[in-house]
Structure 1
Amino acid sequence: MRVPQADPDERWFRTYAAARRPRRRLVVLPHAGGWATYFHAWGTAFDEGTEVLVARYPGRLDRLAEPCATSMDEFADQVSAALRPRLDIPVTLFGHSMGASLAYEVALRLRTRYGVNPAGLHVSSRRPPHLLRPRALHEEGDEALLAEVGRLGGTDPSVLADPYFREVALPAIRADFRIVGTYGPRAADPVPCPVYAYVGDRDPTAPVEDMEAWADVAPHGFRLDVLPGGHFYLRERHEALVGAVAGRLMATAGADG
């Protein structure tokens, strides 16, 4: 099905253009409190036929003045709508932590609203929707939020202690933790594409056995890769992760002829 095209909303994605006309797109959805710059190295890590789009969430960096999303459904609606003009070639979704839940919800919407099946869904360090456990961390004080960010290991401790960082980043972190804490558990609705899951073997939030349950939403195929590391294993295992994603991207979205 050909999707009617509209002008792309350039606010939503940092685009790393392919070296030639793109044959496929990889959409990267960051974690709670995450910025597009965290995945900058992904922009040039794939073949010349792959265009990489890294989501730029509202409420941070050059979208600082825009309101953050308040629920996972609102967030997924926004991202899906922003992707609509970019569905002319195969699209693969990759999400880390909160971004994994967001990628799952976007995959469902692309099918039901636009009649497009993603080429693949890649989920990292996040339980599947039917095993999620609500948590009201967003209702606690700033120190509790920062302590959780520090525990997960995605941000340098010196950055967390910086007053400017706290002032600028805390509203988005709190908004994202509200989204995470109020989403799920939900029914294991199947997605119309293969699912690939990734997790660190010492992740305190996403046990390996829970990540295996992503198979419950994957009637078109499932594979789990367990890599050394914690919740942010993808920093130390960048090459291994990107290599795995690249191989599956080529296989599911079509290699250059």
Structure 2
Amino acid sequence: MSGAWLQIPDPKPSAAIRLLCLPHAGGTASLYRPWVKLLPDSIELVLVCLPGREQRCNEVMPADMQTLIALLSRAVKPILDKPWAVFGHSMGATVAHELALFLYSENLSGPEHIFVSAREAPQFQRGGSVHKLDDESLCRQLVKLGGTAPELLEIPELRALLLPAIRQDYHLIETSKVSSVQPLNCPITALVGRDDPELSTDDAQGWQQWTNSEFHLKEYSGNHFYLSDCPDLVVAHIVQKLHLAYPL
């Protein structure tokens, strides 16, 4: 069922709901693997492995969001046989939203809840030119955001391996446009780090207009990668929100 795109580190056939998790630009499924021990038996964790990383390091990330979503939607169809929610961090939040919009357009099962982390609402998306930076400037940007150990970027062999994939991700997200203005029918929760240099509370609050259901904004101490500092708090909040709809 998982194929190249999906990893289920702890299969739970009797789970009430699945939680699909999408990484940030340059990120991998490893960001979410600690969540396996934090989630109850009623939630099955499904990790998305995008092209250009981990076991797919020799694959190229699609150049545009529409192609990525078409491929990803095909991969997730097998998990739509039971309720599901989705958590996306940074770039992953945009991918999560676009995936839901695409599934709506195809009359397929949409998510029960979307958690958008460290990402501005689509109407505030500013694009960018990080993918055009030279290697040194790109490394400084990654260190500024956190989430990447500076010492790793000082190793030439690792830089040569990591930076092309990171550029592909940044090109994808910085050139993408929202595909639809249709609000979703599921709740949206926006999660932010109070000291995130890339995101204001107002930009995160803008997600409210993308749902016909409930919207919540949750703030945490920390920067763009606040969730690495307090995974237990983040997962507890996700479980609490999903518990409103399912007996977890």
Greater mean deviation of Cα atoms: 15-24 or 100-109 = 15-24
Q: Aligned equivalents of 2:69 and 2:210: distance in 1?
A: 18
SS across alignment from 2:81: coil
TM-score normalised to the size of structure 1?
0.91
* Equivalent residue in structure 2 for 1:76, among 69, 82, 90: 69
SS across alignment from 1:57: coil
Q: Aligned equivalents of 2:12 and 2:6: distance in 1?
A: 18
Do the aligned partners of residues 92 and 120 (structure 1) sit closer, same or farther apart at CA in structure 2, a change above 3 Å counting?
same
8 Å Cα contact 2:86-2:115 kept in structure 1? yes
1:189 aligned residue: 182
Aligned 1:1-257 pairs, distance under 5 A: 8-184=1-177, 188-252=181-245, 254-256=246-248
1:251 Cα deviation from its structure 2 partner: 2.0
* Partner amino acid, structure 2, of 1:122: F
Q: Aligned equivalents of 1:9 and 1:48: distance in 2?
A: 19
8 Å Cα contact 1:130-1:187 kept in structure 2? no
Superposed CA offset, 1:193-233 (max 9, x none): 11011001111111011101100101111000011111111
8 Å Cα contact 1:130-1:186 kept in structure 2? no
TM-score normalised to the size of structure 2?
0.95
Aligned length: 248
* Partner amino acid, structure 2, of 1:61: E
Superposed CA offset, 1:131-185 (max 9, x none): 1001122122122221111110011111121222212111110000101211236
Uncovered stretches (5+) of structure 2, i.e. residues with no partner: none
Superposed CA offset, 1:103-158 (max 9, x none): 00011112221431211000000001111001122122122221111110011111
Q: Aligned equivalents of 1:18 and 1:60: distance in 2?
A: 22
- Percentage of identical aligned residues: 32
SS across alignment from 2:216: strand
Uncovered stretches (5+) of structure 1, i.e. residues with no partner: 1-7
1:68 Cα deviation from its structure 2 partner: 1.2
1:188 Cα deviation from its structure 2 partner: 4.1
1:5 aligned residue: none
* Partner amino acid, structure 1, of 2:122: P
* CA RMSD in angstroms, aligned pairs only: 1.6
